[in-house]
Amino acid sequence: MPTAEAPAASFGQGESEPYARALLTGTGTLTLRPESGHDPDEPVTFDVRNWCEDASTAELSLLQSLRGPVLDVGCGPGRLLAAARTLGLAALGIDTSAGAVGLARDRGARALEQSIFAPVPQSGHWQSVILLDGNIGIGGNVGALLGRCRQLIALTGTLLVEVEADEHIDTAYSAVLEDQHGNRSEAFAWARTGTAGLVSRAQAGGWSVTAIRRFQGRVFCSLSPRPGPVRSIP
């Protein structure tokens, strides 16, 4: 089964490598902003500690609802992989950042340095696939990413996706990542969507939305694959 093409650039990488720099220290802020200063999309600022610290109580609760094996797409430094291991779940992470993968492995996690759009082990047999911490934006095309996950997951599996708290956000653009010191990445394709955008693409792309949960200002959607051919919806 063919896969989608990999995006040309990856989150926060290239030029001054702000993502890798931030992960090394585990502190500071990173701001995701449109490449063009005239783009109407608002910048989003992240606290790097949230990506590096242990999984939260809410995240542990979500992981406890899943079955293994678990595929963590955009695993970063592996905090959710470490949490999955403590819960007895077999898990694998993938991330395009060598620094993130190294940190995940330092935590004792299994992680591969690669894109979700490259061949993935156990394709079609993952019982759980997770896209948390904004990773629904990977590749700048929510429909294509959902289609790729549909290729990887078992028919009895669950896709867990975090979306924007504002259900009406639905945008895709060329973005850059910048730290508080002005270190800036190359431009990369990115997307943001709330429940409305996710649900419409999920239903059109062969998924059933089985649950929408809200924890501490964050919104998580559980999806189950429907039998039938895989489609990617823009």
Please report the DSSP string for 128-143 in residue order. EEEE-TTGGGGGG-HH
CA distance 38 to 189: 17
Lowest-confidence range among 14-18, 35-39, 47-51, 54-58? 35-39
| Residue 40: strand, helix, or coil | coil
Confidence band, pLDDT 50/70/90 cuts, at residue 8: low
How open is the CA angle 31-62-110, to the nearest 5 degrees? Answer: 75
CA distance 77 to 162: 18
pTM of the model: 0.92
The average pLDDT across 57-79 equals: 96
SS3 of the chain: helix, strand, coil, percent, to 5: 25, 30, 40
Let me know how long the chain is.
Answer: 234
Q: What pLDDT score does 232 carry?
A: 52
Give the number of C-alpha atoms closer than 13 A to the C-alpha of residue 110, restricted to the C-beta side.
Answer: 10
Phi, psi angle pair for 157, to nearest 5°: -90, 180
Q: What pLDDT score does 133 carry?
A: 92
CA distance 190 to 223: 21
H helix or E strand, kind and range, residue 82: helix 79-86
Asked whether residue 14 is assigned to any structural domain, the reply reads no
131-to-15, 136, 142, 180 alpha-carbon distances in Å: 26, 6, 11, 26
| Residue 104: strand, helix, or coil | helix
Structural domain range at position 109 = 56-171+192-225
Asked whether residue 38 is assigned to any structural domain, the reply reads no
Q: What pLDDT score does 4 carry?
A: 41
Asked whether residue 44 is assigned to any structural domain, the reply reads no
Residues 120-168: pLDDT tens digits?
Answer: 999 999 999 999 999 999 999 999 999 999 999 999 999 999 999 999 9
Q: What pLDDT score does 36 carry?
A: 80
Q: Say what the alpha-carbon torsion angle 170, 172, 173, 179 is, to the nearest 10 degrees.
A: 70
CATH of the domain at 156: 3.40.50.150
Asked whether residue 79 is assigned to any structural domain, the reply reads yes
Q: What pLDDT score does 7 carry?
A: 42
Q: Percentage of residues in the chain with pLDDT exceeding 70?
A: 92
Asked whether residue 27 is assigned to any structural domain, the reply reads no
**Contact indicator for 127, 157 with CB cutoff of 8 Å:** yes
Asked whether residue 70 is assigned to any structural domain, the reply reads yes
Asked whether residue 32 is assigned to any structural domain, the reply reads no
Lowest-confidence range among 29-43, 155-169, 174-188, 220-234? 220-234
Asked whether residue 127 is assigned to any structural domain, the reply reads yes
The average pLDDT across 10-21 equals: 92
Mean pLDDT (the chain) is: 91
Is it the case that residue 26 has pLDDT exceeding 80? yes
Q: How many domains does the chain have?
A: 1
